[in-house]
Amino acid sequence: MVRITPKLRRIPTVFRFPRMNVRAEKKQFDHHVDPFSRVPEEILSCIFENLDNLSTIQQFSLTCRRFRMVAKSRRAIACWAMNRFGKRFVLYYCILSMSQRCDGPFIQQLLNMGALIPRCLLQAMLMIYGKAATSANMLPKGGSLFVDVAQQVPFSGYAMLMYAGMQHYSHIQNKEINGDLSSFLASTCHERKELIDNHAFIPAPILAPISLRSLLRYAYTDRHHYMIIAPIFEFDPSARRCLWDAVLSLLLDVAFASTPSQDLLAQLNSLDWVITPKSLAGVLLNTSDQDLFIAAFASFFAKYPVSYCTADKVENLVRLLFRHVHPSFNVSEALRHLLSVLRIELRNSVAQVLKQRDRSINVTS
């Protein structure tokens, strides 16, 4: 047995270390850890999939490195787009808003999630992909967002889209530039229902100038099927602009009618759900609803002779606009922006209605 002498007892004191308070050290360490680093990946993905729009996604990706990794994930982007726009519109929205991301694997990811392939989208891709928009009837570059961005889709994405479309539809091509959209507008209610139910129809892409006026009648004759395709007007600026043209055309017809027919009155009443007060800020791509309305109103009267739209007819149209159309923006403010670009006779008529409206508002207040 080793005998411990007083000298040996003093040796351990030389190697003695300060005791660590484990709980205090752990608490101090936890204080400096980013709380989001503890959030499971699944929870972050769920948060990401419920963001509002692409602007919010951009802000999300700038939060930290971990959030950026989620935002760059192909699956997360596909889930967000599917959750936000639904299986009928997701392919078209992704091509409009993130065309360079739409490669073969991304398109396949969307298809695996149940995305529908609108036949009219396939027709438009066949018409313009890899080609210059040289047709005299086609909208010029800058006139259609789809014409501008479709060329940026990677070839693998185009090939995957066309292959899946060929597998699903026995016949794709249509002689009309606007494909199934032209057929839809000229069809009966039964044929329109067939296009919506069996060909995933959406009223887009719009490649050439076209009137959506008959769509306003369809909105009240078959409101259920109209509401299925209506979300396209929430994010596609070309479709939204054509919708404003159709609304102005309807208002002009009513302004010219001494006694509007029941059909015209029903179309006027349908404007409550065709043009809703719902804000499209952040959803409508590359523009605002007010800018589209201003552009549509400024160019609408250019196709009519100067003497065709008399002052009383224009004033009637503007009054009908205030009475039946309630968008998210201020119509009075939009019309004031227009005063500087309208023809002199139109400017005076619009200014007269605005003056009367301001006077009536002041009297009631």
Q: Are residues 267 and 127 in the same domain?
A: no
Distance CA 248, CA 317 (A): 8
Higher-confidence residue of 213 and 307: namely 213
Q: Do residues 147 and 235 share a domain?
A: no
DSSP string of 103-149? -HHHHHHHHHTT----HHHHHHHHHHTTS----TTSPPBTTBHHHHH
The tens digit of pLDDT for each residue in 245-277 reads 999 999 999 999 989 999 999 999 999 889 987
Name the residue with tokens 């007060």: 277
Domain C-terminal end among 210, 239, 266: 210
Neighbour tally for 356: CB within 10 Å: 13
For residues 260 and 345, state if they share a domain: yes
Tokens in use for 291? 């800018």
For the cut 70, the answer to whether the pLDDT of residue 202 exceeds it is: yes
The torsion defined by the Cα of 271, 274, 279 and 282, in degrees rounded to 10, comes to -150
Residue 136 has a pLDDT of 40
The answer on 307 and 192 residing in a single domain is no
Q: What is the structure's pLDDT at 364?
A: 64
Number of domains forming the structure of the chain: 3
Whether 223 and 340 map to the same domain: the answer is: yes
DSSP string, 154-184: -HHHHHHHHHHHHHH-S----SSTTTHHHHH
pLDDT of residue 225: 93
Q: Band of the pLDDT at 100, cuts 50, 70, 90?
A: very high
Residue 18 domain-assigned (yes or no): no
Q: Is residue 137 in some structural domain?
A: yes
Beta-carbon neighbour count of residue 18 at 10 Å?
Answer: 5
Same-domain status, 123 and 206 = yes
Whether residue 28 is contained in a domain is answered as no
- Residue 170 lies in domain: 84-210
Q: What is the mean pLDDT of residues 206-219?
A: 92
Residue 204 inside a domain? The answer is yes
Portion of the chain with pLDDT greater than 90, in percent: 49
232 and 348 in a common domain: yes
Instruction: Please give the span between the terminal C-alpha atoms of the chain, in angstroms, as a whole number.
Output: 107
CA distance 36 to 33: 9
Cβ atoms of residues 141 and 147 within 8 Å: yes
Find the range with the poorest average confidence among 138-142, 223-227, 340-344: 138-142
Same domain, 137 and 200: yes
Tell whether 306 is covered by a domain: yes
